[in-house]
Amino acid sequence: MQDLRHLITFEKLLDDANNDLVKKAQDEGKYAIGYTCYHMPEVLLNVDNCFSVRLRAPRTGSIDISTYYMSNYTCEFARSLLERGIEGGYGFLDGIAGVDACSAMNRCYEHLEILDCNSKPHFFVTHTDVPYKVEEYNIDQVATQMKLRVLDVMHEKLGTDISERAIRKAVEEHNELCRIITEIGNFRKLDNPPVTGYEFHVICLVSYCCPTKQILPLLEETLEEIKGRKTDLKPFYRARVAVVGSEVDDLDFTRLLEESGAMVVADRYCYGSFPGREVIKLNDEEDVIRQIARHYMYTSECPRYMAEEKIQQRRETVDRLAKEFKADGIIYEQMKYCDFWAFERPLASHIMAEEFGWPTLSIDRSYNVHNSGQLRTRFQAFVEALEIKKIRKQAGEEGTA
């Protein structure tokens, strides 16, 4: 297939958190609010004069300084963010909206604030709690915190219009972005899709890391390009996989997987499109902040939610996506030292194999995989196992016929 017109542009935008579109928006008087977690409603950070930037630490090398502050037994993602912050990589931010989802990221936020990693006089770091289950009183709790500890802070520090009208406008823009990403992602259901898993990973990531108004026209053009894109006669992959797990913003992870013969057809991980790119449906009767809080809580697939119904929801979601996108197998991955996925990954991968009948691969990994020989070997072996299973199944069907 021919290269997508904007793919190199998108890749360059992902080379730095403070990318060209972020700079352009700030030159127009907008304020950048950094965040890291789905528990923080992205849409609320895009109200009025603000825009969200989902934080990453691309091209991370040594994390020795952050390890000194956080120890080497904490999540490399959190340490990489802190390292980049200490280096001055987040000096462009006007605020950080954090959630108390895990202790490692809490420590990262706290150090970014305590170590004065940002010198802007109006810069703020705010935290909100995350419950362990979804009940009506929990929704009230989250909605109240989003009002008091996010929107009110944005209004006080940055003069942001936090009226219902402004919030609903942000939801409309967010929904348009989600429709485009979803439509592009749905091409992966085809047997010979006009977009690769790597390309979709790039497209999805830029939608998180760039101001919505700035990136939307490029995404619209890319969607139209993909609609008319001619595919090769033979599909480029040997097996189709769904990837499930913790944060994946490292493009090398998907590149390595697809170089091993797989195609990522469903991205059910943090920074992926499931969840994250679902349209938010609003009614005119209920408080808009409460509706947004409910949407994020019900669609969240994070193992932070430990109630039995949420555990079952996560398994059923993976099963549904794998079927819907015609996956041959499922890869469960986690960042090393990730507290919640360290419990979720081994048990869920076992249950998906034993009770749901899916071939699974379970791995833990570093934040940046670079060109990991170990991962490449495991990916290649998994692809070969999926191929062998497919061949045996076809041979059995032919024998029966």
Neighbouring CB atoms inside 10 A of 388's CB total 10
Is residue 379 in a domain?
yes
Confidence of residue 207 (pLDDT cuts 50, 70, 90): very high
Domain membership of residue 33 (yes or no) is no
Asked if residue 144 is part of any domain, the answer here is no
Residue 9, both tokens: 């542009």
Q: Tell whether 72 is covered by a domain.
A: no
User: Domain with 362 in it: what CATH number?
Assistant: 3.40.50.11900
CB atoms near residue 62 (< 10 Å) = 8
Q: Does residue 261 sit in helix, strand or coil?
A: coil
288-323 pLDDT tens trace = 999 999 999 999 999 999 999 999 999 999 999 999
CA–CA distance, 194 with 382 (Å, rounded to integer): 24
Assign 3-state DSSP to the chain and report helix, strand, coil percentages, each to 5. Answer: 50, 10, 35
Residue 135 lies in a domain: no
Residues 57-79 pLDDT 10s? 988 889 999 999 999 999 999 99
Query: Helix (H, G, I), strand (E, B), or coil: what is residue 256?
Result: helix
Average pLDDT, the chain: 96
32: helix, strand or coil: strand
Residue 372 structural domain: 235-400
DSSP annotation of 15: T
Distance in angstroms (rounded) separating the CA atoms of residues 139 and 142: 5
The band of 398, judged by pLDDT with boundaries at 50, 70 and 90, is low
Residue 35 CB contacts under 8 Å (≥ 6 apart), including other chains: 42, 45, 52, 53, 54, 55, 96, 97, 98
* Domain assignment present for 396: yes
Distance in angstroms (rounded) separating the CA atoms of residues 179 and 181: 6
39 inside domain: no
Question: Of 35-39, 243-247, 280-284, 365-369, where does mean pLDDT reach its minimum?
Answer: 365-369
Dist CA 253 CA 370 (whole Å): 8
Quick: pLDDT tens for 23-32.
999 999 999 9
Q: List alpha helices for 115-270, DSSP H.
A: 136-146, 152-158, 164-186, 197-209, 212-227, 251-259
Single pTM value for the model: 0.96
The count of structural domains within the chain is 1
pLDDT at 172: 98
Dihedral of CA atoms 130, 99, 21, 30 in degrees, nearest 10, equals 100
Both tokens of 243, joined, read 């990837």
8-state DSSP, 17? S
- pLDDT at residue 370, rounded to an integer: 76
Burial label for 212, CB within 10 Å (0-12, 13-18, 19+), is: buried
Is residue 394, in this structure, part of any structural domain at all?
Answer: yes
Q: What is the pLDDT of residue 318?
A: 98
What is the per-residue pLDDT for 63?
95
